[in-house]
Amino acid sequence: MVKGSPVSQPFWLYLKHLYLVPWHFFTQKRYAECESKRKHKVFMPWILHLGLMLGYVTMLVLVMVFLEQLQFGPEIRWQVHVFGYLASVGLVAGTIYFIRSRFMKTHVQYKKSHGTDWVFVVLLCLITVTGITQHIFHRTGLNEWANVTYVIHLMFVVPWLLRMPFSKWSHLIYRPLAMYFSSVRRDALTRGNSYGLEPALSIRS
């Protein structure tokens, strides 16, 4: 039951639509449907946004779960890092594209872009670049340089970790959740029809 509504939402509807959370999380389908995003022939904003998000999530998993196994230098084969390299491509391409969009003011939202809107992409870009540099130094045996770069890398990571859970990270989850709950609600409404409204298909008339 939703507060203030006469329509109940059975528990099984929540289970039925649960697939929508990972679906929207990993495909960002709604983002691709936005009017301004559809104008691009190859859906470039969507592809790069998806690349950035998948790269970010992959890198987060690699750092959180596999950091110990992957922090050897030239001793392990570079092919082991393949997921990290793919994630880096997504992060570099995504951050550069979105920084460029903010510079060029290509969309309406960037024309009034606030300083805080830059922090996300600029910090992420700096984290990626310093991370890649550190990795190169590490693998080529320049350990002192690698350590210095790692310190710089952490200088960007710490403010990022302090700030991001309350800003950009939240939209990683609330968009899929919003799509999930609205889908559950719509299903319940079309079954309940408590407002005396015709179900959804009437809109085609």
> How many binding residues for another protein (CB under 8 A)?
23
Among 204, 170, 171, 201, residue whose Cα is nearest residue 186: 201
Asked if 19 is part of the footprint of another protein (rule: CB under 8 A), the reply reads no
Q: Are 181 and 13 in contact (CB under 8 A)?
A: no
Q: Are 108 and 85 in contact (CB under 8 A)?
A: no
Asked if 18 is part of the footprint of another protein (rule: CB under 8 A), the reply reads no
Instruction: Give me the 32-51 binding string for another protein, x by CB under 8 A, dash otherwise.
Output: -x-x----------------
- Please say which residue, 80 or 197, places its beta carbon nearer to another protein: 197
Asked if 109 is part of the footprint of another protein (rule: CB under 8 A), the reply reads no
Using CB under 8 A as the binding rule, the residues of this chain from 153 to 192 that contact another protein are 182, 185-186, 189-190
- Please say which residue, 102 or 153, places its beta carbon nearer to another protein: 102
Residue that the structure tokens 């997921």 belong to: 83
Residue-wise DSSP of 142-192? -HHHHHHHHHHHHHHHHHHHHHGGGTTTHHHHHHHHHHHHHHHHHHHHHHH
List of residues contacting another protein (CB under 8 A): 2-5, 7, 33, 35, 182, 185-186, 189-190, 195-205
